[in-house]
């Protein structure tokens, strides 16, 4: 039996984004201090996920065009704040190109010296482990140093190009 190799048609980028937008994601602010900086730097990712329990690893991806990731990479340690429902303005501010974006964001320094977003649903302090090529993105693997969650808060969700919130059975 002979099988012919069929080249699938190219996937339209607009359609790809539309379909993938049907998958709800959390909204995570990655924050850190550039070497010798006193103000944090940060970016927003919707691709943050657990990767391994032993050792505890997280993964996320960052566009090659990101101007913030090189600064966070140089820091090697950063905090991931899982934004809470109602923190849409924090997301918009951190994802902006403004150089002073942390002037309008409430944050605090953790005992490990990492910036965390005040009022976040959860936080995960990480250390860069590896980077992999992922097409037009860099896939980042980070080791978890410490973490915790504010279980009374609900996470901010991004779905179909809109912010929303998860309604737990207790809130229905």
Q: What is the pLDDT of residues 30-83, one digit of tens each?
A: 999 988 888 899 999 999 999 999 999 999 999 999 999 999 999 999 999 999
Return the beta strands (E) in the chain as ranges. 25-26, 28-32, 41-45, 49-52, 57-63, 77-82, 107-109, 115-117, 122-134, 137-149, 156-159, 162-165
Domain at 25-156, CATH class = mainly beta
Closest CA to 67 of 91, 99, 89: 99
- In whole angstroms, give the CA distance from residue 3 to residue 1: 7
Half-sphere exposure for 115 (CA within 13 Å, toward CB)? 21
pLDDT in tens, 87-113: 999 999 999 988 888 999 999 999 889
Whole-model pTM: value is 0.87
Dihedral sign for Cα atoms in the order 143, 72, 24, 83:
positive
């Amino acid at each position: 039996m002979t099988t012919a190799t069929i080249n699938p048609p190219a996937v339209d980028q607009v359609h790809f984004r539309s379909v993938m937008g049907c998958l709800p994601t959390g909204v995570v602010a990655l924050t850190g201090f550039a070497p010798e900086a006193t103000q944090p730097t940060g970016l927003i990712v919707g691709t943050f996920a657990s990767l391994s329990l032993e050792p505890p690893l997280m993964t996320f991806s960052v566009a090659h065009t990101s101007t913030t990731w090189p600064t966070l990479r140089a820091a090697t340690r950063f905090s991931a704040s899982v934004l809470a429902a109602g923190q849409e303005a924090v997301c918009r501010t951190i994802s902006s190109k403004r150089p002073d974006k942390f002037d309008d964001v409430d944050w605090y320094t953790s005992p490990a010296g990492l910036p965390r977003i005040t009022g976040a649903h959860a936080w995960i302090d990480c250390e860069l482990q590896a980077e992999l090529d992922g097409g037009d993105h860099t896939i980042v693997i980070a080791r978890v140093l410490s973490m915790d969650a504010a279980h009374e808060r609900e996470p901010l969700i991004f779905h179909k190009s809109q912010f929303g919130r998860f309604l737990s059975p207790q809130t229905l």
